[in-house]
Amino acid sequence: MKSLAELQALRDSMKNKMGIRSDESGCTRIVVGMATCGIAAGARPVLTAFTEEVGKRNLTNVAVSQTGCIGICQYEPVVEVYVPGQEKVTYVKMTADKVAKIVNDHIVNGNVVTEYTIGANAK
Amino acid sequence: MYRSHILVCGGTGCTSSGSQRIIDELEKELKAQNLSEEVKVIKTGCFGLCALGPIMIVYPEGSFYSRVTPEDMHEIVSEHLVKGRIVKRLLYSETVENDTVKSLNETTFYKKQHRIALRNCGVINPEDINEYIAYDGYQALGKVLTEMTPDDVIKIIKDSGLRGRGGGGFPTGLKWSFAKASVSDKKYVCCNADEGDPGAFMDRSVLEGDPHAVIEAMAIAGYAIGADQGYIYVRAEYPIAVKRLEIAIKQAREEGFLGENIFGTGFNFNLELRLGAGAFVCGEETALMTSIEGNRGEPRPRPPFPAVKGLFGKPTVLNNVETYANVAQIILHGAEWFSAMGTEKSKGTKVFALGGKIHNTGLVEVPMGTTLREIVEEIGGGIPNGKKFKAAQTGGPSGGCIPAEHLDIPIDYDNLIAIGSMMGSGGLIVMDEDTCMVDIAKFFLEFTVEESCGKCTPCRVGTKRLYEILDRITKGKGKLSDLDELDDLCHYIKDNALCGLGQTAPNPVLSTMHFFRDEYLAHIVDKKCPSGVCKALLSYVVDADKCKGCTLCAKNCPAGAITGSVKAAHVIDQTKCIKCGVCMEKCRFGAISKK
């Protein structure tokens, strides 16, 4: 360690990796339905893809987690995105291919990917 | 990228209840479910809630599982980590309210706590320097070396009002300024990690949970006083702390936080461990330094004080583990931030090791000025089995007992001394109505007799005589004049012993005599132990009216002291009775009582 700046850079990169350990709210949550129906429909690769994508982009304050049955089994795999202060967005019939777009458009840039949501698919 | 972090407590408490087996099983289950790449298992230091160990917490949900077993790991992995269903039956019951899960910080154990010295304990992996760095580790050292003069450092520590957490409460900044003012070609920085009070484990937990905090602070102290060498004197009985310190020192050296030319500023600082063999007197500063020098751990007279002539005859700063654990935070957040907490003369927080007759045995850190009642009844969860609070013992063998009438006293250095106790290193042993205060005084004297190094007569002989008087009182052979003799001898030892061990050894006697004189009198005059502890003063008797003659007591008596035939009242032969109490425990009719 040669300088304070070098230490601060290391701290920031380490902090990213530990962000999920904070108890503070204000964190965006990506929740994948991982009940039997979800897993059978292919939720597992979706969860993995989210984890990888969030990691690749070094996003802080974003947690990827799972939940049980959301109750709309015909639309599985289901993913819900909770951005603090906004209404929850529910994405349905998810695949790993759709993940990058959701992370890029919705999580990073704040634009909901309407075409993947339950509203668009329920028609 | 790990989507989940599982923190498992690796403090001594949870380790002894099997947390390593839990980690092994957890990792096996994660591997079996192909989750090893997504879920990270971290072994941390002490969470504080030792009574509920082994403890683990799963993020991002923050689910706090307590008293887990290796057998539970399959369920936690397959339910929580695969399907996202929190295993409610294993959650700490306080975090579950009306079916929703609360944050740990909202539970009564943690709500009133304010963690500065323990900030990283149970939060980071103490064996990974990068996790310490993520929580601003070594920032304070960097700031001090690149932006501050040694005088700036001493000023901020002085202004913060930090006082020594080892017991004496000497202002830390002042100590540093004395050492800085001493002119010498060589100076030393030492850390007292020879925690020896029965019931105290704060320093161990800090070293186990956050060893870098101590290392960083020692380097800061080295810069402030102009020392380039430090020693941590730690008990060999703390193997986990020793191991983590060794790892931490090695990592700090590799990253350049210890060694030559730190942060490119030309400042050099090296650190070594010295293991103590467990003598209580080596927690006394001059004896500690004598021990580091390679001699028998005996105290030496002060003055000269260590700041003038300490280790190897050179100016030395010696602080306690918990004191150091506050230093980096004060540098980063400022003196005012720290001095805003606490009371007028005692700033900041204090860590207490809660033990004895209390629900939440464990480690708590509260602002100075918190009342004993808040610590015992709220954070500690009160006394088990519906018993009544009798006293709290602080300061171990150097401290005294605080009775129920002083429960509302705000705890700080000066208030505790005013009522005849002392802060000590922070052991807090809670006693209920079943504790005999004479017996407690005897217990602590037995400890000091054992641990007296023997160098000075008041301590070597005086504590032994104190013990003998107490012993005869508990055996029903005390005289009223013993009370005056105890009092005289206590004050004589206080005034004449060479070091802190002897000077404070009479405190448990003085404080129990002051607050619980009636118990002493009951032992001496009535030949009774009101709490039913002192065996020589007890007798177990059978109530002939209640006894059904079931013979159960006689069958279980290990001494063959009970006689009687079936369906006739039994009798205990007091000359044979060893007062083990088994008969009373076994009797189904409540016919046997202690008198």
B230 & B135 share domain: yes
Q: What are the residue ranges of helices labelled H in B380-529? A: 413-418, 437-451, 457-474, 481-496, 500-504, 507-515, 517-524
pLDDT at residue number B159? 97
Q: Which of B59, B62, B138 sits opposite A7 (nearest CB)?
A: B138
Q: Is residue B116 part of a domain?
A: no
- Structural domain count of chain B: 5
Distance CA B285, CA B194 (A): 10
* Contact criterion met (CB < 8 Å) for A63 and B3: yes
Q: Which of B426, B410, B383, B374 is nearest to B109 (CA)?
A: B374
CA dihedral B161, B162, B167, B169 (to 10 degrees): -30
pLDDT at residue number A71? 81
pLDDT at residue number B305? 94
Q: Which of B5, B84, B143 sits opposite A66 (nearest CB)?
A: B84
How many other C-beta atoms lie within 10 A of the C-beta of residue B20?
15
Q: Determine the structural domain holding residue B300 and report its residue range.
A: 129-338
Mean pLDDT for B214-240 is 96
B502 & B397 share domain: no
pLDDT at residue number B426? 87
Say what percent of chain B tops pLDDT 70.
99
* Contact criterion met (CB < 8 Å) for B84 and A2: no
Judging contacts by C-beta atoms under 8 Å, the chain B residues touching residue A4 are 139, 142-143, 146, 263
* Contact criterion met (CB < 8 Å) for A2 and B264: yes
- Whether the pLDDT of residue B421 is over 70: the answer is yes
How many other C-beta atoms lie within 10 A of the C-beta of residue B127?
18
Q: What are the residue ranges of helices labelled H in B255-357? A: 285-292, 321-333, 335-339
Question: Residue B542's beta-bridge partner residues?
Answer: B592
Judging contacts by C-beta atoms under 8 Å, the chain A residues touching residue B131 are 14, 18
Q: Which of B202, B191, B195 is nearest to B11 (CA)?
A: B202
Mark A39-78 as b/e (b = at least 16 C-beta within 10 Å): bebebbebbbbbbbbbbeeebbebbbbbbbbbeeeebbbb
Q: Report the gap between the CA of B149 and the closest CA in chain A (Å).
A: 16
pLDDT at residue number A61? 79
B331 & B369 share domain: no
pLDDT at residue number A1? 72
* Contact criterion met (CB < 8 Å) for A63 and B2: no
Distance CA B179, CA B162 (A): 16
Amino acid occupying residue B375: I
CATH of the domain at B359: 3.10.20.600
B246 & B150 share domain: yes
Give the single-character DSSP code of B294.
T
Which strand (E) or helix (H) includes residue A51?
helix A43-56
Closest B-chain CA to A31: B84
Q: Which distant-in-sequence residues (6+ apart) come within 8 Å of B146 by Cβ?
A: A3, A4, B263, B265
B150 & B233 share domain: yes
Mean pLDDT for B280-303 is 94
- The residue out of B338, B365, B396 marking a domain boundary is B338
- Whether the pLDDT of residue B314 is over 60: the answer is yes
Distance CA B385, CA B464 (A): 36
Distance CA B394, CA B426 (A): 7
Mean pLDDT for A62-83 is 86
- The residue out of B308, B338, B368 marking a domain boundary is B338
Mean pLDDT for B368-379 is 94
Q: Which distant-in-sequence residues (6+ apart) come within 8 Å of B558 by Cβ?
A: B578, B580, B582
Q: Is residue B344 part of a domain?
A: no
* Contact criterion met (CB < 8 Å) for A2 and B256: yes
pLDDT at residue number A23? 60
- The residue out of B432, B449, B483 marking a domain boundary is B432
When pLDDT is cut at 50, 70 and 90, the band that residue A25 belongs to is low
B332 & B269 share domain: yes
- Whether the pLDDT of residue B112 is over 70: the answer is yes
* Contact criterion met (CB < 8 Å) for A3 and B61: no
pLDDT at residue number B168? 81
Q: B interface toward A at CB cutoff 8 Å?
A: 1-5, 7, 38, 59-62, 81-85, 103-105, 123, 130-131, 133-139, 142-143, 146, 255-257, 262-264
pLDDT at residue number B326? 97
Q: Report the gap between the CA of A48 and the closest CA in chain B (Å).
A: 8
Q: Where do the domains of chain A lie, and which CATH numbers do they carry? A: 24-121 (3.40.30.10)
- Whether the pLDDT of residue B99 is over 70: the answer is no
* Antiparallel, parallel or unpaired: β B562-563 and B39-44: unpaired
CATH of the domain at B48: 3.40.30.10
When pLDDT is cut at 50, 70 and 90, the band that residue B512 belongs to is very high
Mean pLDDT for B289-303 is 94
* Contact criterion met (CB < 8 Å) for A8 and B139: yes
CATH of the domain at B447: 1.20.1440.230
Q: Is residue B530 part of a domain?
A: no
What number of C-beta contacts closer than 8 Å exist between A and B?
Answer: 103
B457 & B312 share domain: no
What integer best gives the mean pLDDT of chain A? 86
Q: Is residue B122 part of a domain?
A: no
pLDDT at residue number B104? 79
Do the beta carbons of residue B231 and residue B274 sit within 8 Å? yes
CATH of the domain at B544: 3.30.70.20
Cα separations in angstroms, B292 against B184, B186, B188, B379: 19, 16, 12, 38
What integer best gives the mean pLDDT of chain B? 93
pLDDT at residue number B437? 96
B374 & B326 share domain: no
